Structure formats: C-alpha cells, structure tokens
Structure 1
Amino acid sequence: MLTHLTLINFALADRLAIDIESGFNVLTGETGAGKSLLLDALSACLGERTDTNYVRYGADKADVTATFSYHDGSPEAEWLKQQELDDESGEIHLRRVIFATGRSKAWINGRPSSLSELKEIGRLLVQLYSQHSQQQLLEPPYPKHWLDRYSNFYAPAQAVRDAYSQWQKDIRQHQAALDAQATRKQRIDTLELQLEELEEVVQVDYADIEQEFDRLSHHEAIMQDCAYSLNGLDEAEPNLSQELSSILRRLESHAGRSEQLSEIYTSLLNAQSEIEDATASLRHFIDRQSFDPERMEELNSKLEIFHRLARKYRTQPESLKAEYDSWQAELEQLHQLEDPETLAEQVEVSYQDFLAKAEHLDQIRREAAGPLAKQLTEQVKQLALPEAHFEFKFEPLEQPSSEGLSFIQLLFTANKGIPAQPLARVASGGELSRIALVMQVMNAEKTEAEVLVFDEIDVGISGGTAEIVGRLLAGLGQHVQILCITHQAQVAAQSDQHLLVKKQQTDPASSTILMLQEEERILELARMTGGVEINETTLQHAKQLRQLKFQSGA
C-alpha cells in the first residue's frame, strides 16, 4: 500500500509531503491546479520516462520519494529478497532524482538502482488505468488479452507460445537439412580430413611442450644459476644460512627486552625455516635435472608441426585444440542433418504438442467467455445502458499462431433486438468510455497489485452513471487502495479520503495537496457541481451526495 509521497521541486510542487490512506482516495481540483502532480510523481518513482519539465522552474533538480508498506510472502517481498533489498521496517522506499540537464538517478531502499529495477518492483506494487485506456478496446488483440487476464490463463497461454516457438524452430532445422543436402557431403569430407590431420597433434598440450622445450634450451644457464644460488645459500664460507643463524643468536638474547624486537626475531626465525626449505628444494631440483638432446629434438619436431598446422589453418598454435573441438561439433551436427526424415518426424511431434496445448487453451477460453460476457453485460447495464449485451466470437484462424487457434472478438449491442457486432464498429465514444471503465474495474479485481490508479477514467459520464461508477470504485476500495483523479462530484462523494489540489499564487506559482475534512469535502463537492458560485442549493446537493455514500454502506 502507498503510504507516503514526498515531492521536492517537482513541477509545481515546492516542498510537499502527503500521507495516503487505505481505501478509495480521490484527487480533485480546478483545471490547471495540477491534479496530475501526484500521479506524475508516483510514475517517476515507478521508473516511467521523465523530462526536464518535471524540474521546478529555477531549481537544478527534482526529488521525489514514494513509500509503500508490504507484507511477508507478497510478490514484492519475494522480489526484494531476491535483490537483497528487503528492509526490517517492512517498507519500500522508491526515490527518483531528475536533474535539469535531463539525467536522472534512482534508489530502492537507499541502494542505487536502474530504471528497469524500478519498473519491475513498480509492476508488482501499482496498476495504472488512464482515460486513454478505452482506445485499447479497439485493438484486435485486446479481447483475447482481457479474457486471459481476467480468467488467469497466463500459464496455458504461455505454454502455447512456447510450444509454437519450438514447432517453428523444428521447421527451420528441417528446412536447413533440406537446403544443406547438396553441400553437406563436401563439407563432411573436408571436416573429416581436417580432424584426421589434427587428431594426434591435439592429444598434446602445446603450452606444456613449449615450456619443456624452453627449459631444455636453457639447461646450461639454469644449472649455472642454480649452482650459484645453492652455493650462496648453504655451501660457501660464509653462506646465507650461517649469516642468518648468527643474526638470530644475537637477537634472541634481546627479544625478551622489547616487544618489537621479539616480533622481528620471530619473523627472521620464520624466514630461516623458509630458506632452509627452499634450499632443500633447490638441491633436489638440481639433482633431478639432466640434458636430453634426443628429447629436445623430439619436442622441436612437435612444435614445428604445431606451427605448420597453425599457419595452414590461420590460427595460433595454442588455438588448434579449440578449432578441433569446433570442427568436431560441426561434423556431429552435419551427421544429424544427414537424415531429414528424422527431423521431419520431430516437426510432427512438436506440432502435435503445440496443437494439444492450443486446443486446450481454446477450449478453456470458450468455456470462460460465456460467463465473462454475461458478467460484463450486467455491470455495463448499470451505467445507463439497460439493453447492453456482450458476447465473444471465436473465428478459426487460417493458420495457427503463437496466440492460439482462434481470432477472438468482443461483440456488443446497446439496443434490444439488434444483433451484437464488433465493438469498434457500433459503440459510440460515450459507450466505449463506460465499457472501458467497467472492464478496467473487473481487471483490477484480479490484479496482484495493492495500489490501483485511475486517471480520469470517468470522462464522458455524468449524473446517475457517475454515481454508479463511484460505487464500483468504492466497493473495489474495500479490497485494495485506489487513487482516482476525477471531475465528477458523484464519484468523489463515494470516496473514503478526498485530496484537494490547489494552486497557490506564489512566485513562481506552486501547488499544494490538502486532505479534506467532512465540511471541506461538502464545499469541494458543491464547487464541482455548481461551479464558482456556491449557494444553498449546491451545498444541499453536495450533502445529499455524501449521504448516498453512507446509505449505500460503501
């Protein structure tokens, strides 16, 4: 639930802190007062696109923070745990800073975050519906998407898309096998020759033989330097071991007199042990070394082969093993393509899998479509469309698609005795706005988000219809938190909390948001219904609207 919004130098807001209550919240205000201020700030915190217009005139940056509460086990709680962003306070703090230069920065619970992360958590927290949503109704995919969303068919619909994708992939592989028929044999012969030539060579590690060859090439210098080192360490008179023993004897007698000297003595004692071990290892290394000219010649021959083959295949000697593995994989793939009939069988298997999933999805969609159309009809009838009727029409597609087997249309009629037709063809603008509103409210009942934002979705309605819309939103507000910008007094009267946006004539101009008490609500409702002049008639009407709220029990 959204609990708090803080706006600093954001658009018309100088410094504004707003506490948001649960239930049904409305925002009203005169035209130009900045009613969209709160929603724009919330959208910024949810990772939506911003621009420099959001930075208050004269300021170098805008700063907005949205605070949400959440419950353990909720989708947003799980997301926060996965991102290691969970907070013991049980709150989510989303912050966005927008600079006048056009850049912006974001934080989630105090940690710098990307806009994509803001959008991820935002989709779990808030669902936004705008007055332009009615245009979605006219888009061909919308009825299908709305049916799937309301009926929770996401999983079977995704299974169909995945199965379709696999079927198409198998078709492409089969076609590739057919296309490769002519050139495959030649390529196989080439690869087999190349692999045969490298088969013995790649059994040896190039880096190992190169290092061994280098060691034999410098055998004499290595032995001279090792002998010199061993002599200095242990065989000369005096040698390093003797000198270090003498130093240790001198310091040992004073180690107890100084903590620092004691530490130095201990360090040198450890160094003596290390030197003794290194000396023994060096003597062992010298004893084991011998020069083998035949082995050197053998290594030289192997290196020459590596370099010859590397030049032939235009690569580095150490990369020949990787080339061999790549050719081996390509050869195996070509052998798999050798039998297009096998791939054709796989195409049929994946098609049958897709068909089974698509038929199941089509069946459950058809079963859900009837009751859903009936429910939509009953809801829309309340909005001054008493003869409204909806039905879904399923038309088989000429070719199956990733979306299923049928093209789904939503048919509508507003007049008794007239057959239902596609919504885009027969619905007027006013009818579309009411239908869109009801469909959005029905969708909102199914959303996992705990905050629903309605931005002037009641445009085009008035009177008794607006009152019913208010009741719908009030009923929905008993289950989720609602923020609604509205021009309709009948809608605002049904709300649990009423926020008023007022423009202040400061320099530069600014807006503030006030939480109205009951008497203030009556005055605002009177202004919304009666205009600038508020008289006893408009006040009485406003009081009656509020009484309807209490009488309905919403």
Structure 2
Amino acid sequence: MLRRLTIRDFVIVDHLELDFQAGFGALTGETGAGKSILLDALGLALGDRADAGAVRGGRERAEVCAEFDLPADGALAAWLAEQALDAEEGSVMLRRVVDAGGRSRAWLNGTPVTLAQLREAGEFLCDIHGQHAHHALLRADAQRALLDTHAGAVELAAAVAAAHRAWRQALERRQHAERDSAATERERELLAWQVRELEELAFDPDEWAELNQEHGRLAHAASLMGGADEVLAALGDNDLAVAPLLARLGARVGEMAGIDGSLDETRSLLADAAIQADEALHALRRYRDRLDLDPERLTEIEARIGAVTDLARKHRAAPEELPALLDDCRARLEALSASADPGRLAEQEAQARAAFEDAARRLSAARKPAAEALSAEVTAAIQTLAMAGGRFEIALEPLPEGCAHGLENVEFRVAANASQPPRALARVASGGELSRIGLAIQVTASRDSATPTMIFDEVDVGIGGGVAEIVGQLLHRLGRERQVLCVTHLAQVAARADWQWSIAKAERNGEVLSRVAVLDEGGRVEEIARMLGGVRITDTTRQHAAEMLGQG
C-alpha cells in the first residue's frame, strides 16, 4: 500500500508530506482546491508523462517521491531482482524530478531508472481510475482489454495478435509470389547467373594477396636481378668486397687487441659486422638464384588479376568484398527461390493460420467464462445502483475469419430495465447510467486486481442520493481488501470512508497554494456538513453529517 507521498513545487503545491493509512480514504474539498493535483503528482511518480507545466511558477524543478510497502505476493520483488534493483527493508521508493524545461529523471530505491521501468514498477503497486474512465468503456478496445485483464489473458491476447500478424505476412508473401511471378523469376535468374559467375571465379583472399606479391616481383624481375648482382659484387665478388674486407680488418684489430685490451670492444663489433655481412651475402645469393624472367607466368597472373578486378568493378565492390558478395547473392537467391515456390508458401501460410487459430481458440476459451462471470457480477452490482431489473452482459460475437484480437468481437451491452433487451453500452446508456455501470464494472473488476492500492478520481460524477450512498458502501467494502483512495464531491461517499483529508487553497505572500488537512472526528463532521449544506452550515446540517458518519 501507499505509505507516504512527498511533493515539492508541483503546480500549486509548495511542500507536502502525506502519510497514508490503510482502508478507504476520501479526499474532499472545494472545486479547484487541488484534490486531483495530488493524484497527478502520484501519477508522475508512477511514470506518467511530464512537462514544464508540472513545475510551480518561478521554481527550477518539481519533485515527487512515493513510498509503498513491498507487496507480499512476490511479483514485484521478483521484478526488482530481475532489474537488479534492491528492495529497501520491505518498501519501494519511486522518485521523479521534472525541471523547468520539461526534462525529467527517475529513480527507484535510489537507483536511476528509465521512465518505462518506473511505469512498469508502478503497475505492480497502484491502479488509478480517472474521472473519464466511464467514457473509455464506450470504446471497443477498452472493453476488450478489460475483459482480457479480468480473464487473466493479457499475455495470451498479445500472443494472438502476434500470431495473426505472422499469418497475414505469410498470406501476403504467397499472394505477392502469385501476383509477381514473372518479375520474381527474372530476378531469380539474374541472381543465379551472378552466383555462377562468382563461384566460377573462385576468389580466394589468400591467393589474391600472393598473386599481387608475385606479380610485383615478376613485373620488376629485371630491375631486381640487376640490383642483386650489383650488391653481390660489392659484398663479396670483387677485390674490394665488403664481407672479406671486414673479415681482414677484424683479424688485424684482433692482433692489436692482443697488445692493448681496450680494443676488445672494437674487435667484437668488427667480428659481428663481418658475420652479418657474410650472412647477407649468402641470403642475397639464394634470392638471386630464385629470380627469373618468366613472361608466361607474368601473363597468366595478369590475366587472373584482370578477371578479378573486372568482376569486382562490375559489382562496384573491392576485390576483397567478393566472398561476402557471393554469400549475399546465395542468400537472396535462396530466399527468392523459397518465395517463388507456391507449394512451400502455401504450406507456410497454412502453418501460420493454424498457429493463429490455436492461440485464438485458447483466448476464446479464457474469455467465455470470464465474460459470463463478470456479466453476472456487474448485473448484481447495478441492482443496488438505482437500476433494479437492469442487466449487463458481455457479448462475444464470432468472427469467421478472425482478426488480430481473436475469433470474436467483445461488446459490452446493457438493458436499463427488465423490459428491454440488452443493447450496446455506447448506444443506450445515459450519462448517469454510464457512471453507475462504469463504477460497478471497475469495482467488480478491481477485486481481481493484484495491485494493493486502488485510486478513484471523481468516478462518482453523475450520481447522487441513495445511489451515492451505495457507491460509498461499495468502496468501503473494497477498502477491507486493499487500500482505496477516492477523490469525491459527494458527502454520502466520503461519509463511508475510514479516514478523510480536506484539500483547500490558501494564499501566502500573494501566492495561491494547496493545503491538506487530516481530519479528526470533529473535522469530518464539519467537512461533511460543508459538502451537504454549501456555504451556510447549520446545526441541523452538522447533525445530519454526524448521523451519516455514525452509519459508516
């Protein structure tokens, strides 16, 4: 449940620290006092979108922090562990900061998180029903989503939608192949020719490197041979050759070192130089022996290099890219060959269709009992909401071909009294009836919710009198199972609350701010009396308020 809400510089709130209780709590006050602003602040902490308008005028940023008990069912704890977000002594802390430019940051238990993570965590903790929730129930998608949630089939519904997309894609591939078979065949033939051409070339990157090296050697063979002869002559093939000269010089210095030991280093250096010169001489002779003028081999290599470069230029690629190009052409040819096979495409389409129908049948099997149970429960609930004899039902209209939502349309229907057949909710419900039916649906569906905190923001709009009293009783009973917060203008609803806060505007230094008062027994009498009697509160009004509270 929600334990604490801290708000700083949010809209018309400067600083509030609110400690919440269990059970059913009512938030009351004059219109415009800021009751819904508290819920907007909580929504911000739960991951709602933010903009610069959230920041109180003249301030740099707004900050909201909500602390919840960690639910005992383990689902949120498991999610926190999966996200590497530690729980803090059995509590969950959600924090959101919005700057004056509209940028926001979020934290969960002190760790920076994304808005999506904050929103996902919030779904485990709190369920908010806004004042326009009744009107949302007129939409087919909202009706279907509510039923699937009630049936515990949200993931199955998503699987059905994915299977339907896969089937439609398989169908379109088959139709495309049948429609464009001539163009597909031309493209396939072109790719097949390109694959053969690249395979016949048999390009090998290692061979390519060796070819280029050998080509350079053969193309400059005469120059290399002349240079090798010149160096060999200087190293060892004439009277002044370097290698023998170094050997003689080394021997002479060796004799001198026998007299003066300080020449040992010089002798060693000359000896090393003589050895290296001799090794260079033998290495160069071996190289010269391998050199040969081979015009036929040069012509052969140049033809091979030309073939590679011509094909690479044709495909607008570097020679080194030809193996990857061949792999790509093979893959495209294989995919095109598969797409040009009507039998194979028809088989894939049939498999995708069967997978969709299987998932859709399982979804239908989950929806049917849930629709029957929810219809009966809501019908029973509206009997107490000034709709005696009324009926509510969820119709599942079969769709022979199915759609992304399954094998049936989901439609909420209502009969305001026993003499009328049920008709679509959007066509027959008046504003007051819609409020009552919507509230009955929300309260009934909320019993299956795993979220520990339920919030109703002026969902009792359009009702009054005895119906309002019944609504208060419904919320009070729901408060026995979980924490319920309700923003309301109705005294009959507020009187059934376990605790009550009054929200009012106050002026300070020329600035209008929202203030929250935690009401004791006497304060609740005064507030209920205000809600009953308006501006002028009499003793009779107070007595009536006290009686209403005594009934709670």
The bucket for the TM-score relative to the shorter chain is: 0.7 to 0.9
Distance in 2 between residues matched to 1:178 and 1:312, nearest whole Å: 32
Hey, what does 1:187 align to over in structure 2?
Answer: 187
Hey, what does 1:114 align to over in structure 2?
Answer: 114
Give the one of 352, 355, 359 matched to 2:354: 352
Distance in 2 between residues matched to 1:381 and 1:20, nearest whole Å: 33
Deviations 1:135-172 (A, max 9, x none): 12222334333322212232443343233222212111
Structure 2 unaligned residues grouped into runs of 5+: 232-245, 251-279
Report the 3-state secondary structure (helix = DSSP H, G, I; strand = E; otherwise coil) of the residue aligned with 2:132: helix
Hey, what does 2:497 align to over in structure 1?
Answer: 495
Hey, what does 1:5 align to over in structure 2?
Answer: 5
* CA deviation after TM superposition for structure 1 residue 410, in Å: 2.3
Bigger mean CA offset, 426-435 vs 18-27:
18-27
1:144-543 to 2 correspondences below 5 Å? 144-199=144-199, 201=201, 204-205=204-205, 209-210=208-209, 213=212, 304-397=306-399, 399-507=401-509, 508-543=511-546
**Cα distance change, pair 486–72 in 1 and its aligned pair in 2 (3 A):** closer
Hey, what does 1:256 align to over in structure 2?
Answer: none
Report the 3-state secondary structure (helix = DSSP H, G, I; strand = E; otherwise coil) of the residue aligned with 2:459: coil
Distance in 2 between residues matched to 1:346 and 1:352, nearest whole Å: 10
Output the amino acid matched with 1:210.
Answer: A
Distance in 2 between residues matched to 1:29 and 1:395, nearest whole Å: 45
Distance in 2 between residues matched to 1:71 and 1:300, nearest whole Å: 77
Distance in 2 between residues matched to 1:500 and 1:107, nearest whole Å: 30
Distance in 1 between residues matched to 2:393 and 2:502, nearest whole Å: 41
Output the amino acid matched with 2:389.
Answer: E
| Counterpart contact for 2:150–2:370, Cα < 8 Å | no
**Cα distance change, pair 503–377 in 1 and its aligned pair in 2 (3 A):** same
Report the 3-state secondary structure (helix = DSSP H, G, I; strand = E; otherwise coil) of the residue aligned with 1:408: strand
Hey, what does 1:33 align to over in structure 2?
Answer: 33
| Counterpart contact for 1:383–1:465, Cα < 8 Å | yes
| Counterpart contact for 1:157–1:361, Cα < 8 Å | yes
| Counterpart contact for 1:209–1:299, Cα < 8 Å | no
Output the amino acid matched with 1:193.
Answer: W
Bigger mean CA offset, 495-504 vs 355-364:
355-364
Distance in 2 between residues matched to 1:364 and 1:83, nearest whole Å: 31
* CA deviation after TM superposition for structure 1 residue 203, in Å: 5.4
Output the amino acid matched with 1:39.
Answer: L
**Cα distance change, pair 299–482 in 1 and its aligned pair in 2 (3 A):** farther
Hey, what does 2:67 align to over in structure 1?
Answer: 67
1:9-158 to 2 correspondences below 5 Å? 9-71=9-71, 74-158=74-158
Distance in 2 between residues matched to 1:63 and 1:292, nearest whole Å: 82
* CA deviation after TM superposition for structure 1 residue 217, in Å: 6.0
Report the 3-state secondary structure (helix = DSSP H, G, I; strand = E; otherwise coil) of the residue aligned with 1:505: strand
Deviations 1:178-228 (A, max 9, x none): 13421333333322222222225565236x8538956996999xx99xxxx
| Counterpart contact for 1:5–1:66, Cα < 8 Å | yes
Deviations 1:317-363 (A, max 9, x none): 22222211111011112222343023223323332343344344335
Deviations 1:359-410 (A, max 9, x none): 4433543344333212111001111111211233333336421212222322
Say how many residue pairs are matched. Answer: 490
Output the amino acid matched with 1:143.
Answer: Q
* CA deviation after TM superposition for structure 1 residue 538, in Å: 1.8
**Cα distance change, pair 175–522 in 1 and its aligned pair in 2 (3 A):** same
* CA deviation after TM superposition for structure 1 residue 506, in Å: 0.6
Report the 3-state secondary structure (helix = DSSP H, G, I; strand = E; otherwise coil) of the residue aligned with 2:500: strand
Report the 3-state secondary structure (helix = DSSP H, G, I; strand = E; otherwise coil) of the residue aligned with 2:313: helix
* CA deviation after TM superposition for structure 1 residue 486, in Å: 0.7
Bigger mean CA offset, 376-385 vs 190-199:
190-199
Distance in 2 between residues matched to 1:189 and 1:51, nearest whole Å: 57
| Counterpart contact for 2:374–2:444, Cα < 8 Å | no
Report the 3-state secondary structure (helix = DSSP H, G, I; strand = E; otherwise coil) of the residue aligned with 1:448: coil
Report the 3-state secondary structure (helix = DSSP H, G, I; strand = E; otherwise coil) of the residue aligned with 2:66: strand
Report the 3-state secondary structure (helix = DSSP H, G, I; strand = E; otherwise coil) of the residue aligned with 2:53: helix
| Alignment TM-score, normalising by the size of structure 2 | 0.80
* CA deviation after TM superposition for structure 1 residue 41, in Å: 0.9
**Cα distance change, pair 216–498 in 1 and its aligned pair in 2 (3 A):** farther
Report the 3-state secondary structure (helix = DSSP H, G, I; strand = E; otherwise coil) of the residue aligned with 1:400: strand
Distance in 2 between residues matched to 1:304 and 1:102, nearest whole Å: 63
Distance in 1 between residues matched to 2:43 and 2:156, nearest whole Å: 31
**Cα distance change, pair 202–514 in 1 and its aligned pair in 2 (3 A):** farther
Bigger mean CA offset, 13-22 vs 388-397:
388-397
* CA deviation after TM superposition for structure 1 residue 297, in Å: 9.0
**Cα distance change, pair 116–356 in 1 and its aligned pair in 2 (3 A):** closer
Hey, what does 1:230 align to over in structure 2?
Answer: none
* CA deviation after TM superposition for structure 1 residue 132, in Å: 0.7
| Alignment TM-score, normalising by the size of structure 1 | 0.80
Hey, what does 2:259 align to over in structure 1?
Answer: none
Deviations 1:295-331 (A, max 9, x none): 9998776655443322110112222222111110111
* CA deviation after TM superposition for structure 1 residue 105, in Å: 2.4
Output the amino acid matched with 1:493.
Answer: A
Report the 3-state secondary structure (helix = DSSP H, G, I; strand = E; otherwise coil) of the residue aligned with 1:56: coil
* CA deviation after TM superposition for structure 1 residue 27, in Å: 0.9
**Cα distance change, pair 166–58 in 1 and its aligned pair in 2 (3 A):** closer
Output the amino acid matched with 1:111.
Answer: T
Distance in 1 between residues matched to 2:121 and 2:194, nearest whole Å: 54
Distance in 2 between residues matched to 1:476 and 1:299, nearest whole Å: 89
Distance in 2 between residues matched to 1:523 and 1:312, nearest whole Å: 90
Deviations 1:33-64 (A, max 9, x none): 11122111111112222233322222122122
What is the Cα-based RMSD across aligned positions, in Å? Answer: 3.3
Report the 3-state secondary structure (helix = DSSP H, G, I; strand = E; otherwise coil) of the residue aligned with 2:460: coil
| Counterpart contact for 1:412–1:427, Cα < 8 Å | yes
| Counterpart contact for 1:202–1:320, Cα < 8 Å | no
Distance in 2 between residues matched to 1:85 and 1:178, nearest whole Å: 53
Distance in 1 between residues matched to 2:86 and 2:298, nearest whole Å: 64
**Cα distance change, pair 103–153 in 1 and its aligned pair in 2 (3 A):** closer
| Counterpart contact for 1:213–1:300, Cα < 8 Å | no
